[in-house]
């Protein structure tokens, strides 16, 4: 038996289908006995895994690990597994293992790392475990040799989603994953492409997938139609890093999914969508596109050049202005506190947000503090940083905030700049509460906007204690960050 483990990454109410292990299950379906254990749905995943280990001959224990909460449960379960079943091969895959391969292999409870796309690598690894055990001929693999040295094989070429079977949705209980969101009462998730062809140097996707392969519009529409007919889905969150690239592909997809009458959210690049014709944008809206997440990153063109973003601030402003006509809400993610000049970067980005809001008040701003992903040793600004060499060190109080981007100790960010970022975010989110917050009552929205109006108008962001109290009173939810 093969056991695939998806560690807990979210609260039960926020869980979604574990696509990473479902796609692996797709290539095992019909050829291998396997089980999926989802830490988001199973209240005691270790008990379930322990029972599988006792009652079956488990040939491989595979774990999908993202940086952040999944790492906590992955470490705890793999430690227990190694202690009780020391001969069971433990394989890590996913973004954490792909980005921090050496650190992953430094853990005594990790034997193999699958880097990048894992479907074919998994099948070949199973074959070698049963046969000659010559792991060096498996592409996309890192492992420890007989002397404990780390061996890294050649990269595996990326394949398109159409080259693999559908995810085996029947393996999961859809009632646990179909969620009520601002998009619809029964929201599912889907990923219609893999990778990214751009080279932004702060991003964790590029080192893992340096190009993009897209699912055909026909397959995307067929899968969504199946989910709608089988599970009553009426909305979709697309988890692609870039949902839109070619305009002809976008137009065909819009035409195919429009009859489903779904409402949906996706991620895209500013310059790509800005280059689409008015007719294409109308078709996308008619097909159900209500919000698009854009990694804007900065309003400073020099910072954008340093990030190799291949984007300008004027393009971002123009898209905000233009897309308003089509009733599609842009969600702009921005990074504050660049280490080259944290204070100047903050001032420039605040001014840029004000320009954005002036041309399109509906734009939702997601505020991030500058924390490059992946975290690599070296100079950040004037500060030399050495990052953890093991998963166990990554989950310590010193380093874990870097993975979850929550209040990390940033040596290049002065305390007063950090406080001002937080104060600005409080004022802005009170002045324009996110439309995604279904819990926020109308009176709460009005209260926050009334209390914050003068502050935003005057640029008085410092010490907004009354707004923080009001946000707690009405239980305001901050805009989320969907990208890695």
114 forms beta bridges with 141
Output the CA torsion sign for 54, 58, 60, 62: negative
- d(CA 24, CA 28) in angstroms, rounded, equals 7
383 forms beta bridges with 380
User: Given this model, what pLDDT does residue 480 score?
Assistant: 55
User: Given this model, what pLDDT does residue 118 score?
Assistant: 96
For the stretch 28-51, pLDDT in tens is: 999 999 999 999 999 999 999 999
For the stretch 290-341, pLDDT in tens is: 999 999 999 999 989 988 899 999 999 999 999 999 999 999 999 998 888 8
- DSSP-assigned letter for residue 374: S
Question: Does residue 481 surpass a pLDDT of 60?
Answer: no
Q: Under a CB-based contact definition with an 8 Å cutoff, are residues 58 and 190 in contact?
A: no
- Number of neighbours of residue 377 by Cβ within 10 angstroms: 10
The hierarchical CATH code for the domain 2-144 is 3.40.50.2300
**Which residue do the tokens 């932004």 mark?**
200
Using CA atoms, how far residue 343 sits from 348, 353, 420, in Å, is: 9, 16, 9
User: Given this model, what pLDDT does residue 128 score?
Assistant: 97
263-268 and 187-190 as β-strands: parallel, antiparallel, unpaired? unpaired
Using CA atoms, how far residue 221 sits from 17, 20, 282, in Å, is: 18, 20, 19
Task: Give the predicted TM-score (pTM) of the model.
Answer: 0.93
Q: Under a CB-based contact definition with an 8 Å cutoff, are residues 299 and 291 in contact?
A: no
For the stretch 64-88, pLDDT in tens is: 999 999 999 999 999 999 999 999 9
For the chain, the structural domain boundaries read: 2-144, 168-474
The hierarchical CATH code for the domain 168-474 is 3.80.30.20
User: Given this model, what pLDDT does residue 477 score?
Assistant: 67
Q: Under a CB-based contact definition with an 8 Å cutoff, are residues 223 and 166 in contact?
A: yes
Using CA atoms, how far residue 164 sits from 22, 192, 215, 299, 434, in Å, is: 12, 12, 10, 40, 37
Question: Does residue 483 surpass a pLDDT of 60?
Answer: no
For the stretch 419-476, pLDDT in tens is: 999 999 999 999 999 999 888 999 999 999 999 999 999 999 999 999 999 999 988 7
Sheet of 289-297, strands arranged across:
187-190, 235-238, 263-268, 289-297, 329-336, 364-369
Using CA atoms, how far residue 435 sits from 214, 427, 477, in Å, is: 30, 16, 10
- Length in residues, the chain: 484
- Number of neighbours of residue 479 by Cβ within 10 angstroms: 22
- d(CA 479, CA 294) in angstroms, rounded, equals 13
Position 482 confidence tier, pLDDT thresholds 50, 70, 90: very low
- d(CA 464, CA 217) in angstroms, rounded, equals 48
Average pLDDT (197-224) is 88
Higher-pLDDT residue of 430, 196: 430
Contacts (Cβ under 8 Å, ≥6 apart) of 127: none
Structure tokens at 330: 């842009």
Position 208 confidence tier, pLDDT thresholds 50, 70, 90: confident
User: Given this model, what pLDDT does residue 484 score?
Assistant: 29
- d(CA 110, CA 103) in angstroms, rounded, equals 10
Nearest to 349 by CA among 315, 423, 303, 298: 298
- d(CA 317, CA 321) in angstroms, rounded, equals 6
Position 381 confidence tier, pLDDT thresholds 50, 70, 90: low
Share of the chain above pLDDT 70, in %: 95
Nearest to 387 by CA among 409, 354, 406: 409
2 forms beta bridges with 34, 60
Using CA atoms, how far residue 439 sits from 23, 39, 180, 444, 477, in Å, is: 33, 26, 12, 10, 8
* Weakest-pLDDT range from 17-21, 136-140, 374-378: 374-378
* Weakest-pLDDT range from 34-38, 340-344, 369-373, 388-392: 369-373
């Amino acid at each position: 038996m093969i056991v695939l483990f998806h560690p807990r990454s979210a609260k039960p109410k926020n869980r979604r289908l574990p696509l990473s292990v479902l796609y692996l299950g797709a290539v095992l379906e019909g050829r291998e006995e396997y089980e999926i254990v989802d830490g988001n749905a199973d209240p005691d995943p270790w008990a379930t895994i322990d029972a599988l280990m006792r009652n079956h001959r488990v040939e491989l224990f595979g774990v999908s690990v993202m940086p952040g909460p999944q790492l906590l449960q992955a470490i705890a379960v793999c430690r227990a597994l190694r202690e009780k079943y020391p001969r069971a091969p433990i394989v890590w895959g996913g973004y954490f293992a792909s980005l921090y391969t050496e650190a992953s292999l430094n853990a005594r409870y990790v034997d193999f790392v699958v880097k990048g796309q894992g479907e074919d690598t998994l099948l070949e690894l199973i074959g070698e475990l049963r046969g000659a055990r010559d792991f060096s001929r498996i592409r996309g693999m890192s492992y420890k040799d007989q002397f404990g040295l780390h061996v890294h094989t050649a990269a595996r070429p990326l394949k398109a989603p159409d080259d693999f079977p559908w995810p085996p949705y029947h393996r999961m209980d859809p009632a646990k994953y179909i969620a009520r969101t601002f998009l619809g009462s029964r929201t599912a998730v889907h990923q219609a492409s893999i990778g990214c062809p751009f080279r932004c140097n702060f991003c964790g996707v590029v080192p893992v997938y340096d190009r993009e392969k897209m699912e055909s519009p026909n397959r995307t529409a067929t899968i969504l139609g199946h989910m709608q007919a089988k599970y009553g889905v009426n909305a979709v969150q697309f988890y692609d890093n870039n949902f839109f690239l070619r305009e002809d592909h976008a137009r065909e997809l819009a035409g195919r999914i429009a009859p489903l009458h779904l409402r949906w959210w996706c991620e895209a690049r500013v310059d790509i969508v800005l280059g689409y014709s008015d007719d294409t944008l109308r078709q996308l809206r008619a097909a159900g596109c209500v919000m698009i997440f854009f990694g804007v990153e900065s309003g400073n063109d020099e910072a954008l050049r340093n990030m190799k973003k291949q984007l300008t601030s004027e393009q971002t402003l123009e898209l905000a202005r233009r897309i308003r006509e089509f009733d599609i809400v842009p969600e702009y993610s921005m990074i504050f506190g660049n280490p080259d000049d944290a204070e100047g970067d903050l001032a420039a980005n605040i001014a840029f947000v004000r320009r954005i809001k002036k041309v399109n008040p509906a734009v939702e701003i997601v505020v991030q503090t500058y924390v490059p992903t992946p975290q690599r040793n070296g100079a950040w600004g004037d500060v030399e940083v050495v990052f953890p060499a093991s998963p166990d060190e990554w989950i310590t109080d010193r380093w874990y905030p870097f993975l979850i981007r929550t209040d990390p100790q940033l040596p290049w960010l002065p305390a007063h700049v950090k406080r001002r970022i937080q104060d600005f975010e409080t004022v802005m989110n009170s002045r324009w509460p996110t439309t995604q917050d279904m819990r926020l009552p109308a009176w709460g929205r009005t209260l926050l906007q009334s209390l914050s109006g003068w502050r935003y108008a005057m640029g008085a962001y410092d010490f907004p204690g009354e707004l923080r109290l009001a946000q707690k009173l009405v239980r305001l939810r901050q805009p989320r960050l969907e990208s890695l």
